[in-house]
Amino acid sequence: MPGTESEPLIRALIVIAALLAAIAVVLGAFGAHALQDRLSERALATWHTGVQYHFIHALALLLLAALWAHLATGWATASAVAFVLGILLFAGSLYALALGAPRVLGAIAPLGGTAFILGWVALAIAAWRA
What is the domain range of residue 117? 7-129
2 pLDDT exceeds 50? no
- Arithmetic mean of pLDDT over the chain: 95
Confirm whether 87 is domain-assigned. Answer: yes
* Cα–Cα distance measured from residue 47 to residue 32, given in angstroms and rounded to the nearest whole number: 9
User: If pLDDT is split at 50, 70 and 90, which confidence band does 5 have?
Assistant: confident
Indicate yes or no: pTM above 0.85.
yes
**How many C-beta neighbours within 10 Å does residue 23 have?**
16
Dihedral sign (CA 122, 63, 1, 14): positive
Q: Residue 1 domain-assigned? A: no
> How many domains is the chain built from?
1
| E strand intervals along the chain | none
Q: Is residue 21 part of a domain?
A: yes
What are the DSSP calls for 44-66, one per residue? HHHHHHHHHHHHHHHHHHHHHHH
Predicted confidence (pLDDT) per residue in 45-104, tens digit: 999 999 999 999 999 999 999 999 999 999 999 999 999 999 999 999 999 999 999 999
Average pLDDT over residues 28-47: 96
